[in-house]
Amino acid sequence: MMDPTVPGKIPHESGVDRALDGALFDVPYHVLGYEWREDGPVLTLLPLAMEGSGLVPDGRHFEIRPVKWREVEFRISRSRHCTGRFEGGEYIPCPLSEEVTLFSQCPSCMSHDIPDPDCIFEPHCNTGSCGASFCRKEHVVYITSFRGHHKVGMTQLERYLTRGREQGADIILPLFVLKDRYSARFMEKEVSRTLKIPQSVRSGVKLRSWSGPLRMSEQRRLLESLKERVVSRWKDIVGGMPPSVNIGKGPEGTDIPPAELDYPLEEPLSSPPMRYRKNVLRGEVMGFKGSYMIFRSGGLRAFRMGELPGSVLYFRDRLES
C-alpha cells in the first residue's frame, strides 16, 4: 500500500535543462502556487533534486516576490504535476505526483479542500452541501472595468479586491451581497442576461488596452452608471429568482465604493505586449498585472504566470527565499 506521506517522483524531462550560453538550467523548483496579495504577486516554490530518472522534494517550500526580479531567465517543463495540498499550515506533497491539466491538483489532493470541483464554476449547493467551506461564505456580484471593457463576476466578499487584481482589472465595484456561492453565481448570470454585460473579457483585449490611457475618473463614472442600471432593473433581475437564492444586501443596501486597483507596472505601456508561450524565458522584467508578467525581449512580451502552478522551473542558480 502506498504511503501518502511519501511524495511521488516528478518525471525529469529530457533536454529541458540544456545549456544556453554554456550554462545549464539544472536547479529545479516545483511551482506550488501563484497568487496576488496587497503588496503584489507571490510565487510559492518547492526545491527539487534528481533521484534516478525523476525529481523529488529537496527542502521546504518558500515564497518569493517576483516584483524584485530585474532580469528573468528560466526554463519551464512541458508537463504539469499535482502541487499537493496544505493542511494546518503544513505542506503535504502528492503521493503520486500525478500529471494535471485543467487544475493544479489531482482529484485526490483537491478533494480535501474542494470535494466537488464543479462548485468552483457552477455551484449547486442549493441541492445539498458540497462540503467546501468557501461555498457557504458571503459572496458579492461585482463589475470590473478594463479600460472601459466591462464584465460581471462573483467572488467571496472577503477577497473581492484580490479577485480584481487576479484579473488585471483597473477598477472593481461590488453590486450586491449574497449569502452563499450558489446564490452569487445565479445572480451573476441574471445581471449578465438582463443588462447584456459579458462574464469575461478576452486576454487579447486586456493586453491591447494596457498601452492606452487609464482615464480612471471616466472608468469610475461608467461603473457607477452600470450600478444605477442594476438598481433600475432590479425587479427584472430577481424576477425569475428561485427560493434557494439568498440575498444578503441588495444594490441599494450595498454601499461599497469603486476601488481603483494598482499594480507593479508602469502604465500605459509603450506598445501592446505580445503573448509569450515558449518554455524559455529571458529578458528584462517590466512589471506584473493580473495573470501576466510583462518583460522585454525583442519587444514587449506578456507571460501568463497564473499558468505556472504544477510546472517545474529550471534556473541556473539557487534562488533566495
Distance CA 27, CA 16 (A): 11
Query: What are 290's three cell numbers?
Result: 493580473
How high is the pLDDT of residue 4? 53
**What cell was used for 35?**
497568487
Residues in the chain: 321
Distance in Å from the first CA to the final CA of the chain? 36
Q: Report mean pLDDT in 10-residue bins for the chain, 321 residues.
A: 65 76 86 96 97 92 96 95 94 95 95 84 77 87 98 98 98 97 96 98 97 97 98 97 95 96 97 96 97 98 98 94 70
* Cα radius of gyration (the chain): 22
What's the 3-state SS for 155-206? EEHHHHHHHHHHHCCCEEEEEEEECCHHHHHHHHHHHHHHHCCCCCCCHHHH
| Residue 10 identity | I
Find cell 444594490 and name the residue. Answer: 251
Q: How far apart are CA 145 and CA 105, in angstroms?
A: 31
Do 289 and 305 touch, CB atoms closer than 8 A?
no
Contact status, residue 180 vs residue 139, Cβ threshold 8 Å = yes
For residue 290, what are the CA distances in angstroms to 107, 262, 264, 287?
27, 10, 10, 10
Q: Which residues contact 310 (CB under 8 A, 6 or more apart)?
A: 30, 31, 80, 81, 82, 83, 100, 104
d(CA 104, CA 309): 6
Global pTM reads 0.93
Give dist(CA 171, CA 226) in Å, integer. Answer: 13
Q: Which of 214, 216, 205 is nearest to 272 (CA)?
A: 205
Q: What is the rounded CA–CA span in Å between residue 200 and residue 9?
A: 37
